[in-house]
Chains A and B, each alone.
Chain A
């Protein structure tokens, strides 16, 4: 424990130090407020630029660190067209380098604003560079799965161990009592002292144990119980694939899209609002962003390959398409009907209720057991959200239940009847 905290201390200290130096170093360059700069950067620049990567425009980190003439930079950012028109040699060179595509002009940014942005970019870039030098950062450990069944198993094991101890103690007591009965109380003190002092012959002990009927019975009982509970659990979980995480043809990171980028689930899974299928997005949805974003990534190249898209010519060739074969993760049996829109649009459930912390999943796995018990439990516990929905206005049942002060759950509205899902 101690050694770990030591390592942590050393590590954090070095990081802090580096950060400090970096900050001071950048401070020497141009005085600006990095925090304000960050806000502005995200609002104005991210459409075309990244700090560490070429996007539509160049990577700004190296670009702004190499270029130290802040006055020129401010002018360029505010109105690059004017600089080019004025035949500023640096500006014209850049203009030519980037295929004469001019940058958007930002006359609304004051000098101070631009300074803030530059400060932010330089700080960020420096931090990144230093971090890269310090060695690759450790990836966060994925949380281990612990289902309720584990708890049950452990507590069962605990009970078994406890019972074992109790039986051992009782056995001793009985043996002692038996001896007491045969030899009388005076010998007792002597004998016990002797037993305590003598070294125990281990093999003999085992032999003795094997002859102990109670113990044999107990071991057998434990064995039967363990086997039985294992069978029970196995049978219960047959065809329950909770945690199923197949390898997908494209390593699509939900943590990046839904988590970091905060893209709404329905942007891609547009069916969830209107249909029984949430629907896997068609690849043209990906292309809304990935025509420009991360075009060089091998995963994105797979999209281009599937669509017959040539990033160089920016053209689609419909004869060169290849269907994308995702592996289905959530497999409801055919005889169970499930409708996403009922749950998402009408009941206003969050996707995460069933699909788990999808915004943190690098690769998606089946979060919920998808068993009928799981469905029914939720239907029994969840109140119907009927406020503001005129559909429920005429349903006398709702009013009666409310009058009685009852909770109107999905189950009370008939949500656990067979035919609601099986037809």
Chain B
């Protein structure tokens, strides 16, 4: 079956809007003013004679002066006393922890330059998120607090200590409340320090406050089973997953871990054993998870409750009071199918909901209990400790503050003045607090309201530990001396509470010696040293009991349905979500994350209101039109974006944008959507109803999705259903008898190249790739890819060497599984609601017969005997012919000298952040082309290591930066000359195809078809 399916990158392409068609005629967004120059227009411009002479004089003078200095003097400063473990030029790796996940930190000459996943980490098994990859840049952020401040003025630590201790003693004597407000602390040592602090000040208490809260699940479990825990989910044990708006691959609880688990049932290995899990997603906006689902049903937030009730009814066979039939026919149908499949897969089924509503979570618990999920796909006995925020406690704290009952408050990694839904209450309340201390390392909304800022270390400068999942203890160790005059927050708390231990390192050591090391069977000094090499200990898991839900659901159902009724109505329903790149906005000053395109919308540097295309049409809006959104007494103006798959009558808005007190990177990026949150039954709710009023403005979004056109070609994405795959694994690749052979022997123009030593190739499994974009950030960090900013992205000048292409296609349902070219004319809204999404990582394909090479007039891009397409920057003269001739559009042109241009300094490309650059990769100058080099520095280093150790190169020893960070293991790299290598095996898979194979360019990157598990039941 050759695919007749129509793919498109954006609605502009689908609808062939005049602007899109016009833009696509050009390789570069802005035409070069050749005409102007040729007609003399450029010469007619007035250059006064004096200016000309001045410039000439200066030029001649400068050149003469520059020529005088024969040899530029470069100073070379060796260590005075070289640390034993440092060899200049050789990286050292240290274990540490990011967000509870064991990681490796690559350091060069004592500077951390890259974060890499820890291969033995039990969460992601070597994967690392985009946030983890980007976190290293924050270390060198020049906007960090460089010393403690008191009332906004810089001061010293002694003064701060003196002041805080005096105040604390006075407050202790006064007997009013002291509060430590933090986002979830899962570090045992930090918790210990806080407990010691509370012992010293009995009126103190610790409040966990998460901007994006999972309190609903915790309370739901308390309610259902008497265990107030966030369970540990095992997506790898589930044959069928039904998710109600839980974006577990993108943002929900532990996405890297869940991605690994989820993909283990869908990757090449699983498919070859004819196994594939099934995933049904009900959600409002198109999330990363929804776009990966086999079946995705758009539902409004108000329909979520009734849908869950219906699912419960269908599974239990009973009818909860107040049940009504769902108006949404498609959803109702899907619920029936889902229920059937869930029951059939009892014990291997999992239902999750992203809602933070307690009643909803209780109902989900009841469903999971009926499905026998407890003890299999859900583990309540080894819970996750990643989120412990308690919404009610925080709300109580806010009212305490307002009533003047709180005298001291400490903010640790918490920024409620920005992310609390009623930030005015925080500001008002803080006015009545005597001592306000923030441990923020960058200025934020809360720290600006505090009288003391005691800046915390960056995590790469800190000692510490973490405990993401019960029994999994990881260690943090500093990999650099503190860059600024900061102090670890725990150290400050210890100092202020007069802790008997004087420094936090001893505290951590002590804690591990007395309790944690033993859990991993280690002890003493040698145990500690082992830990600093392995990074973690894992205690034996607690064997779980079985849990059965035995509560009355009538009241629960009533609450859910009441809530649903409140949301439903004429108004537009608003769903608030975290974007995959920005999450809760704490890293808003990180340019790598701001420039990472959102996986689905491909928007950078902004948040927006995602709206169904049919709604847009009805309201007469076009992309970028600014609308005022009024809800919960708060309003923001945001540009709209037509998002296929968005439930009609709803909009989705990302939180985490619109920071007001932040460094130059995050300033003015988007609008804050946290105030749309509301408090309901003791937890924060992420949906609201709003009225929309167009303001008449248009603010174009910097979207990367339509920067290249698919040009009507249908050999880019290939997919098949699981049913078809089981019959014929090669289905969808176009490999059949009448398939033309595009391999070497039919190729008449090109001579065959010898690949005598290695043939470096890559295999990418489209069924494993979730499109999260971690590889994009990892690549930027590894290869010194510059950030260009919103304006430049709008001009289609983003520099990413690897991009994730997102393609939409119509749902299979309806007209026999395919949508032909002509069918686009009869496009109806229903089809746009049910689009399918395929993600395709696109990077230089290292074609054997590369079209870029033949057009380069200066031979700056040539082929190597190892199958790589080399790019010699110093030879490139910038004709850009190669980019024009590249069928994959992966070449990037340096329009500016990004690393040394004042215009780009705001994106942390300044003298200080040069320290994060990979010293083994050249930073490219203005006017040259660049593209994926297949991490050639890693290939060369790997070969050299083998040569020095006098052994053959091992398969899998050299890993690409993108491959290494991928939690889904979607990317495999290796030597095709070795038939036993992983990549040779992967490319031998029947599912393998090459993008635009018919061009005969012989790409070096093979893709494996996307397989969807669409069952016969749906038909």
Contact = CB atoms under 8 A, between A and B. Distances in A.
Contact of A418 (B76, B875, B922, B947): B875
A346 B87 contact: no
A4 interface: no
B745 interface: no
Q: Top 7 nearest A-B pairs by Cβ distance? A: A419-B870, A275-B89, A397-B756, A282-B82, A277-B89, A282-B79, A328-B74
A183 interface: no
Given A279-B88, A335-B922, A307 B81 contact: yes
Contacts of B872: 418-419, 422
Instruction: Pick the most buried of B77, B80, B90, B940: most chain A CB atoms within 10 A of its CB.
Output: B80
Contact of A414 (B864, B949, B952): B864
A265 B240 CA distance: 65
A192 interface: no
A337 to B, nearest CB: 7
6 contacts: A307-B81, A324-B80, A331-B71, A334-B923, A335-B873, A422-B874
Interface in A265-317: 270-271, 274-277, 279-285, 306-307
Given A327-B73, A341-B944, 19 more contacts: A277-B88, A283-B81, A284-B82, A326-B75, A327-B76, A328-B74, A334-B923, A335-B874, A337-B920, A341-B948, A346-B948, A390-B951, A391-B952, A391-B953, A395-B757, A414-B864, A417-B865, A417-B870, A419-B868
A144 interface: no
Interface in A162-212: none
Contact of A323 (B73, B80, B82, B922): B80
B753 to A, nearest CB: 12
B874 A333 contact: yes
A279 B78 CA distance: 8
Contacts of B82: 282, 284-285
A346 B947 contact: yes
A181 to B, nearest CB: 57
B73 A246 contact: yes
B944 A241 contact: no
B940 A420 contact: yes
Contacts of B89: 271, 275-277, 279
B75 to A, nearest CB: 5
A394 interface: yes
Given A284-B80, A419-B864, A345 B75 contact: no
A191 to B, nearest CB: 58
A144 B866 CA distance: 45
A20 interface: no
Contact of A328 (B76, B923, B933, B940): B76
Interface in B44-86: 70-82
A285 B84 CA distance: 12
Interface in B837-883: 862, 864-866, 868, 870-875
Instruction: Pick the most buried of B71, B922, B949: most chain A CB atoms within 10 A of its CB.
Output: B71
Instruction: Pick the most buried of B921, B937, B940: most chain A CB atoms within 10 A of its CB.
Output: B940
Nearest to A423: B936
A389 interface: yes
Contacts of A342: 944, 947
B329 interface: no
A403 to B, nearest CB: 13
A307 B870 CA distance: 45
A413 B874 CA distance: 23
Given A337-B920, A342-B944, A282 B870 contact: no
A321 interface: yes
B513 to A, nearest CB: 30
Interface of A: 241, 244, 246, 270-271, 274-277, 279-285, 306-307, 321, 323-328, 331, 333-335, 337, 339, 341-342, 345-346, 388-391, 393-397, 400, 413-414, 417-420, 422-423
A422 B80 contact: no
A391 B757 CA distance: 11
A306 to B, nearest CB: 6
Contacts of B947: 342, 346, 389, 391
A281 B78 contact: yes
A417 B864 contact: yes
B122 interface: no
A413 B78 contact: no
Contacts of B953: 391
B760 to A, nearest CB: 11
A388 B72 CA distance: 42
Nearest to A244: B71
A328 B757 contact: no
A281 B756 CA distance: 40
Interface of B: 70-82, 87-90, 756-757, 862, 864-866, 868, 870-875, 920-923, 933, 936-937, 940, 943-944, 946-953, 977
A266 to B, nearest CB: 12
Contacts of A274: 87, 90, 948
Contacts of A419: 864, 868, 870-872, 933, 936
A140 B757 CA distance: 51
Given A283-B81, A391-B946, A397 B72 contact: no
Contacts of A345: 948
Contacts of A327: 73-76
B95 to A, nearest CB: 22
Contacts of A270: 87
A311 B943 CA distance: 47
Contacts of B940: 337, 339, 420, 423
Given A306-B80, A335-B922, A390-B952, A414 B87 contact: no
A334 B78 contact: no
B952 A331 contact: no
Given A321-B80, A341-B944, A395-B757, A275 B75 contact: no
Contacts of A307: 80-81
A275 B922 contact: no
B87 A279 contact: yes
A331 B73 CA distance: 9
Contacts of A422: 870, 872-875, 922
Contacts of A334: 922-923
A282 B79 CA distance: 5
B950 A423 contact: no
A283 B78 contact: yes
A342 B946 CA distance: 11
A328 to B, nearest CB: 4
B932 to A, nearest CB: 11
Given A334-B922, A419-B864, A423-B933, A271 B946 contact: no
Given A390-B951, A418-B870, A323 B88 contact: no
A423 B81 contact: no
Contacts of B870: 417-419, 422-423
A285 B933 CA distance: 39
Contacts of A276: 89, 920
A216 B75 CA distance: 52
Contacts of B81: 282-284, 307
Contacts of B74: 327-328, 331
Contact of A324 (B77, B936, B949, B977): B77
A397 B73 contact: no
A274 B948 CA distance: 8
Nearest to A273: B948
A396 B758 CA distance: 10
A336 to B, nearest CB: 8
Contact of B950 (A306, A339, A391): A391
Nearest to B862: A418
Contacts of A275: 87-90
Nearest to B933: A423
A280 B76 contact: yes
Nearest to B875: A418
Given A271-B87, A275-B89, A346-B948, A331 B875 contact: no
A339 B756 contact: no
B962 to A, nearest CB: 16
Contacts of A325: 75-77
